[in-house]
Amino acid sequence: MAESKKSQNKDINNLDKRIEAIEEILAAAAGGDFSAEIPIVMEEADVLTSVETGINILISDLGDEVVQSNKRADQLQEKLDLIKKQRQAIEELSTPIIKMWDKVLVLPLIGTLDTRRSQKLTESLLTEIALTQSKVTILDITGVPTVDSAVANHLLKTVASVKLLGAECVVTGIRPEVAQTIVHLGVDLTGVETLSNLSEGLKWAFNRLNMRIVEEE
């Protein structure tokens, strides 16, 4: 047994040097460098040559795969960044506070109101009221498909804080199906001034400011 193993080893040229080369290549690959190759002398092919070739192919494939995977990770990160940016853009876009008239602000609410958005909304509204010295705020909820008790609660709180600033608040655009649901839910919005639509809200606002729109003669 010992004899035959020895004779096989004898068939491999420069064994120590080549093992060293393999170790180096593997170490480089482990460190993330897949560019190096084990030098192969095809003319003197022996049992180890096929192993060396195999390792070379494996490492080169692994290198390609790592490049691909990094590329995919980058693309994914880019998409995540894009989503984040869009989210911010939507948040800004979806909370516009419009100065409709002198001392009249309109806040058209669109989409869903989660806790975060609600708080941000109330905050920017109160700042805007203080800044513009507005007296009337119209909260239009035409674009809110679901008014649950949390949203209703938020509306009540917003209305209360607006009052504390000495301004008045009217909620417009409650859709018929939403109105029925609010009543079923048992939420009491009687403390809140409500009107059917934005144009009614604007008329109400002018009325509160003792203003009148008249046709030109």
Partner 1 sequence: MTTLQIKEEADIVRVRSTARSIARGIGFGLVDQTRISTAVSELARNIYVYAREGEVLIEELSNPRHGIRITFTDKGPGIEDIELAEKDGWSSSGSMGKGLPGAKRLMDSMEILSKPGEGTTIIVAKWLPE
For residue 139, list its beta bridge partners: 107, 171
Using CB under 8 A as the criterion, what x/- string covers residues 196-215 for binding partner 1? --------------------
CA R_g for the chain: 37
d(CA 36, CA 39): 9
Q: Which of 181, 192, 198, 206 binds partner 1 (CB under 8 A)?
A: 181
Q: Which of 54, 96, 143, 145 binds partner 1 (CB under 8 A)?
A: 145
d(CA 168, CA 90): 28
Give min distance, CB of 209 to partner 1, in A: 32
**Cβ atoms within 10 Å, residue 25:** 20
Pick between residue 40 and residue 189 the one whose CB is nearest to partner 1.
189
Pair 111, 143: CB distance under 8 Å: yes
Using CB under 8 A as the criterion, what x/- string covers residues 96-135 for binding partner 1? ----------------x-xxx-------------------
Q: Does 148 bind partner 1 (CB under 8 A)?
A: yes
Angle (deg, nearest 10), helices 149-164 and 115-132: 20
d(CA 105, CA 48): 82
Under DSSP, the state recorded for 7 is H
Q: Does 146 bind partner 1 (CB under 8 A)?
A: yes
Q: Which of 68, 69, 70, 180 binds partner 1 (CB under 8 A)?
A: 180
Give min distance, CB of 175 to partner 1, in A: 8
Distances (CA, A) of 167 to 45, 84, 171: 92, 35, 14
Q: Which of 51, 73, 185, 211 binds partner 1 (CB under 8 A)?
A: 185
Give min distance, CB of 155 to partner 1, in A: 11
Pick between residue 184 and residue 212 the one whose CB is nearest to partner 1.
184
Binding residues with partner 1: total (CB under 8 A): 21
